[in-house]
């Protein structure tokens, strides 16, 4: 059975003390009301080690939001997968549309990052999704298929067990405009089919596929009720503990 996951992506928000407080707030709520899913906090690099120490590892896993495409060395300002792993974080988000759009991350660069993350025993939350223009042209399926193929299909089935996919239509991110549950289900089922064609039904059935894009407590239940939507990757609504818990609760 594939994992149900609710993962926060704080993006570039929160000072160190604010982030640690938020993690403690989420931890406190989950201590009182146990989650029915895996809960992950995706934080900026500087928060990782402190957040890992501030939460109960049985209740909350910690993720970076990025890692370098190089192993180590003279790459000023970069943070390697090994460094992320050394903080106690277990996951890394790769391929977020903001990284692709603002920092020029191509499928080829992402492939390198995925390989380094897996080599360092991190699990990868790999983001895919089309922009509005592509959706309007009916090209969303071919866009996400190419993103998956180009960055991930060199992996073995065994390696693929460490990949979580996050379908995040770019037009839904931070816009308040969520994909309908029918739109989400349709493309999640398509993505699972792409995985099945490459790796077989078992791998496809075992792969968690998250939805992201203006997901909040008021729409999470309906989205997560879709058979191929296994949880969410949450931006804005992960920045306040009660809002984030409202989404986690959708699985109760
Ligand atoms: P919002 O939930 O703010 O739309 O962001 C989604 C996202 O980009 C998560 O990675």
Give the C-alpha distances (Å, rounded to integers) separating 224 from 13, 72, 84, 220: 26, 39, 29, 6
- Ligand 1: centre distance to CA 200 (Å): 30
- Ligand 1: centre distance to CA 176 (Å): 10
Whether ligand 1 lies within 6 angstroms of the CB of 8 is answered as no
Dump pLDDT digits (tens) for 72-113: 999 999 999 999 999 999 999 999 999 999 999 999 999 999
Stated pTM of the model: 0.98
Whether ligand 1 lies within 6 angstroms of the CB of 214 is answered as yes
Dump pLDDT digits (tens) for 113-153: 999 999 999 999 999 999 999 999 999 999 999 999 999 99
Dump pLDDT digits (tens) for 12-68: 999 999 999 999 999 999 999 999 999 999 999 999 999 999 999 999 999 999 999
DSSP-assigned states of every residue in 196-237: HHHH-HHHHHH--EEEESS--HHHHHHHHTSTT--EEEESGG
Q: By three-state DSSP, how is residue 15 classified? A: coil
- Ligand 1: centre distance to CA 134 (Å): 19
């Amino acid at each position: 059975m594939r994992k149900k996951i609710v993962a926060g992506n704080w993006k570039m928000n929160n000072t160190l003390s604010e982030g640690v407080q938020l993690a403690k707030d989420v931890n406190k709520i989950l201590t009182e009301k146990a989650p029915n899913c895996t809960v992950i906090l995706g934080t900026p690099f500087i928060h990782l080690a402190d957040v890992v120490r501030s939460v109960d590892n049985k209740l909350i896993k910690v993720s970076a939001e990025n890692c370098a495409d190089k192993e180590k060395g003279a790459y000023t300002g970069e943070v390697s997968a090994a460094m992320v792993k050394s903080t106690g974080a277990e996951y890394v988000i790769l391929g977020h549309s903001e990284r692709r759009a603002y920092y020029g991350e191509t499928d080829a660069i992402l492939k390198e990052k995925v390989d380094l993350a897996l080599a360092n025993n991190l699990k990868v939350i790999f983001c895919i999704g089309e922009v509005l223009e592509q959706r309007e042209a009916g090209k969303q399926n071919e866009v996400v298929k190419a993103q998956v193929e180009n960055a991930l299909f060199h992996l073995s089935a065994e390696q693929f067990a460490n990949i979580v996919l996050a379908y995040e239509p770019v037009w839904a991110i931070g816009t308040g405009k969520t994909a309908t549950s029918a739109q989400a289900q349709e493309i999640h089922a398509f993505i699972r089919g792409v995985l099945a064609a490459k790796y077989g039904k078992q791998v496809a059935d075992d792969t968690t596929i998250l939805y992201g894009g203006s997901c909040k407590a008021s729409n999470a239940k309906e989205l997560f009720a879709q058979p191929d939507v296994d949880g969410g990757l949450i931006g804005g609504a992960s920045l306040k503990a009660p809002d984030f818990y409202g989404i986690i609760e959708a699985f109760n």
